[in-house]
Amino acid sequence: MSEPKPTYRHDYRPPAYRVRHTELRFDLEPGATRVRARLHVERHPERQAGEPLVLDGEQLLLTSIAIDGQALAEAEYALSDTGLTVLRPPERFLLDTEVEISPRENTALEGLYLSNGMYCTQCEAEGFRRITYYPDRPDVMATFSTTVVGDKATLPVLLSNGNPVERGELPDGRHFVTWDDPFPKPSYLFALVAGDLQKVEDRFTTMSGRDVTLQIWVEKANLGKTDHAMASLKRAMQWDEQTYGREYDLDLFMIVAVDDFNMGAMENKGLNIFNTAAVLTHPHTATDATFQRVEGIVAHEYFHNWSGNRVTCRDWFQLSLKEGFTVFRDQCFSADVNSAPVKRIEDVAFFRTAQFAEDAGPTAHPVRPDHYIEIGNFYTLTIYEKGAEVVRMLCNLVGWEAFRRGSDLYFERFDGQAVTIEDFVDCMAEASGLDLSQFMLWYSQAGTPEIDAHGEYDYANAEYRLTLRQRTPATPDQPEKLALHIPIRMGLVGTKSGRDLALTLDGKPLDRDGVIHLREAEQTFVFTDVPEAPVPSLLRGFSAPVQLRFPYGREDLAFLLANDSDGFNRWDAGQRLAMLALDDLIAAHRNGVEKVMDPRVVEAFRALLERGSKDKAVMAEMLTLPSEAYIAEQQPLVDVEAIHAARTFVEQSLAAALSDDFLRLYEENRSDIPYAPTPEQIGQRSLKNVALSYLMAIEDEQAVALAHQQFEADHNMTDVRHALTLLVHSSRDDLADPALRAFGEKWAHEPLVMDQWFAIQVTRPQTDALERVRYLMGHPAFSLKNPNRVRALVGTFANQNRINFHRTDGEGYRLLTDVVIELNRLNPEIAARLVTPLTRWQRFDEPRQELMKGELERIRAEKLSPNVYEVIEKALAQ
Ligand code: TRP
Ligand code: ZN
């Protein structure tokens, strides 16, 4: 097999031909679906006449081809594994092809496939080429007219993009529906769904007074689980009108829920397709976290209608143009409708763990990459989450008003076009008058910038000097890095007053937001008229995606934890304080010295508990220790056992010292009022459950009884799941086993709850976890063909059960490798994602490195999909 070749951003050329209008007709059959495509093609005005027309196509069986009604002779076109070339096409013509495809054989879940008897499509990024021959690139935008034909009894519902314009009966019990999408779109936004579905319907009146029908299509058994998604959709529609002045543009907006889906959801024009896990909720089956995730994803896909669909990407190197902007939009939406500080804390905690790890590993890449082998591998935390941080920085730099003007300009200027990241940033520069040229480095330079800060207070002159030094470590094929433009929001908190001091920089008051601009490799900022010694509060709200170090003492951190006016930095001070204690304990564990808990950390937590907080969700976050994955990210070399032991020790020490407080917190926040996913209730439940986790860390009889009662009370899935997890992760198998069995039997018919059932078991810290994973892979409900199941069982184990995945006998690595090798054949997109933990081998000790590399070699010896090939080559190139 020849090696897959990379695609380079600099090789971009506009297409030689455009498609103005696309007519499709699908004759649905599981093993042999016929797809007829009539493409209205014309030469690109800037390109010469007579160039060949290159169409993408994979796994298609061509049954006919004609131009303007004239069948093509074999000499007039060329076929290959990757496409079809019409050698000498005319200037303007109608290309008419028919192909046969097999949805039933499609386990990759790209293109047209069957999920639980239902036909559905996934075309982003390059799935449309598995449906028909087409210029499958986002800069070719056409209007679509799609006729779907299928068996009326088994496929009563036939959906596609746009508006239904015709329907009717056909011989042999078949029927058809024709759909028209008047908005030009690239092929990646095409969608088709056919099956035995039921709908829930609602309406929304847009700000200009247009009436829109909203539909959520599900299998009959899921009809009772759509309320929250529908309410979220309406909130998102309204928010986009109020915040960005953008309204919906078709008469119909549909969401469909499917069981087998590679990602969360997809923004196909007028017909969003969702993983059931990202849309269905019910208090009995979904946790608070799921309710919030659904709200965020529904909003995300809806927001794409403007940021992605009306204005799309010129090529896939610009992916963050739509994803970074849309994630920023959904984050702001969720912050506005929930607890804003908690949303930021959760996003940043996740970002600093997972995106920092990506940036530090062999697959590090810029927000706008320069090359790729398989674009499906680039739906990453860097493109999405770091891309959103970059847009957030832009917004903070130019201010909301200018950002909104820039956004209006962008949507007006580029409506109906496929554009670039520069086009977007240019609009922001134009609207604000700011020079953003240095800022553009954020898009081209990979890696997490590190900032070393130190400060001095000069009492005699009432000055505070803050020196910042930035450095971005080398990443694969980017050895040299330039200094970035980094906005740092900050305050100086007076140690006497406990208040933010007025900031005067270079004789002028610093702007209200307190942002300083770091542009050089090293810069000193001198604040004058500083009346008392301050503790600096830096990078408030995580104003830039960087790793910031400052030599804080424990007293400084306890002080900030109590006094910082910025809620995010109050939380971060607590995390930093816990990290200092954890560092000592990790060292003690490695050196075989007895572990002693730092009393200052205990006292800081005690003070926190006594002070309380109005926002219970924030309080719950403050009481949550950094995860093992985050701690690992902060260590030069990951010591799996020491991290696990140190974190457990801190948890148990806090629990032992503060058990009365935790018990009080638990009791105060119990409630039997009916479940609702409101921010207040969610905050209260989080706080109660954090308290229960601490109580269970020491597993006394009372704690075990509380957890068991909470499980038995069966009030809502959040509480049940939390209690069950604590029992299963405790030493009390006498209670855990029957509880697990009861839960498994009760929910056997609910796939999304069974995913939780699998995940709870494979995260248990006991030494039998790996054997459980192997055992559960043989469970009748497990299937490698369902991505949710694979993620719940194997992904959760490899990513969240660090102590067992990294077992010194290498069994964890072997298990993951076995699964990756099988999935490489079935579903390359999922296989390439799943292998990620093994690619991080550089971070571990020698023996583990050897074991992990050995498994990567074992994968390399297989006949690989381009997806897995690209990841493995990068991982072994280090
Ligand atoms: N555009 C989708 C989103 O962010 C992502 C997506 C859904 C996707 N399914 C996919 C990307 C399959 C690649 C492959 O909302
Ligand atoms: Zn998206």
Mean pLDDT, all residues of the chain = 97
Residues 28 and 155 sit within 8 Å (Cβ to Cβ): yes
pLDDT computed for residue 612 by the predictor = 87
Q: What angle do CA 347, 351, 355 make, to 5 degrees?
A: 155
Task: Read off the pLDDT of residues 835-878 as tens digits, 9 standing for 90 and up.
Answer: 999 999 999 999 999 999 999 999 999 999 999 999 999 999 97
pLDDT tens per residue, range 419-437? 999 999 999 999 999 999 9
Atom of ligand 1 nearest to the CA of 376: 13
| pLDDT tens, residue by residue, 319-352 | 999 999 999 999 999 999 999 999 999 999 999 9
Give the closest residue (by CA) to ligand 1 atom 14.
Answer: 124
Cβ count near 369 (within 10 Å)? 23
Atom of ligand 1 nearest to the CA of 109: 12
Q: Give the residue, out of 266, 306, 375, with the most ligand 1 atoms within 8 A of its beta carbon, to mutate for a pocket test.
A: 266
Q: Which atom of ligand 1 is nearest to the CA of 265?
A: 7
- pLDDT exceeds 90 at position 613: no
> 2: pLDDT confidence band, cut at 50, 70 and 90?
low
C-alpha 787 – ligand 1 centre gap (Å): 14
Q: Whose CA is nearest to atom 7 of ligand 1?
A: 266
Long-range (24+ apart) CB contacts under 8 A made by 510-513 are 513/396, 513/489
Closest C-alpha to ligand 1, atom 15: 266
**Atom of ligand 1 at shortest distance to CA of 261?**
9
The closest-lying atom of ligand 1 relative to the alpha carbon of residue 125 is 13
- pLDDT tens digit sequence for 478-489: 999 999 999 999
Catalytic residue list: 301
Q: How far, in Å, is the centroid of ligand 2 from the Cα of 307?
A: 9
pLDDT value at 1 more than 80: no
Nearest residue by C-alpha to atom 2 in ligand 1? 266
Inform me whether the pLDDT recorded for 684 exceeds 90.
yes
Query: What are the backbone angles phi and psi of residue 636, rounded to the nearest 5°?
Result: -65, -40
- 276 Cα–ligand 1 center, Å: 14
DSSP string, 258-271: ES--SSSEE--TTE
pLDDT recorded at residue 492: 98
Residue from 112, 136, 263, 328 to probe ligand 1 pocket by mutation (most atoms less than 8 Å from CB): 263
Which residue owns the Cα nearest ligand 1 atom 1?
266
Question: Taking each helix axis from N to C terminus, what angle separates 679-698 and 701-713, rounded to the nearest 10 degrees?
Answer: 140
Pocket test for ligand 1, best of 106, 110, 122 (most atoms within 8 A of CB): 122
Question: What's the mean pLDDT in 268-287?
Answer: 98
Ligand 1 atom 11: residue of nearest CA = 124
The residue nearest atom 6 of ligand 1, judged by CA position, is: 266
- What torsion, rounded to 10 degrees, do the Cα atoms 48, 14, 44, 423 define? -130
How much distance in Å is there from the Cα of 382 to the middle of ligand 2? 13
- If you search the block for the tokens 């004789």, which residue do you land on? 507
**Preceding amide of 125 cis, omega within 30:** yes
pLDDT at position 614 is 87
CB 186 within 8 A of CB 137: yes
The residue-averaged pLDDT of 700-708 equals 97
d(CA 448, CA 176): 53
Assign 172 a pLDDT band (cuts: 50, 70, 90): very high
CA 783 to chain CA centroid, nearest Å = 23
β pairing state of 450-458 and 463-471 = antiparallel
Residue 303 amino acid letter:
F
Share of the chain above pLDDT 70, in %: 100
Domains of the chain are 1-196 (2.60.40.1730), 576-876 (1.25.50.10)
What amino acid is encoded at 543 in this protein? S
Among 110, 123, 124, 322, the mutation site with the greatest number of ligand 1 atoms within 8 A of its Cβ is 124
In the structure, which protein residues have their CB atom closer than 6 angstroms to any atom of ligand 1?
Answer: 122, 124-125, 262-263, 265-267, 300-301, 323, 376, 379
Note the pLDDT tens digit of each residue in 456-472. Answer: 999 999 999 999 999 99
Residue 268 CA, ligand 1 centroid: distance in Å: 10
Across the range 654-665, mean pLDDT stands at 98
Q: Kindly report the pTM of this predicted structure.
A: 0.98
What mean pLDDT comes out for the span 271-299? Answer: 98
> What are 796's two structure tokens?
């959760």
Look at residue 65 and tell me whether its pLDDT is greater than 80.
yes
Q: Can you tell me the mean pLDDT for 767-791?
A: 98
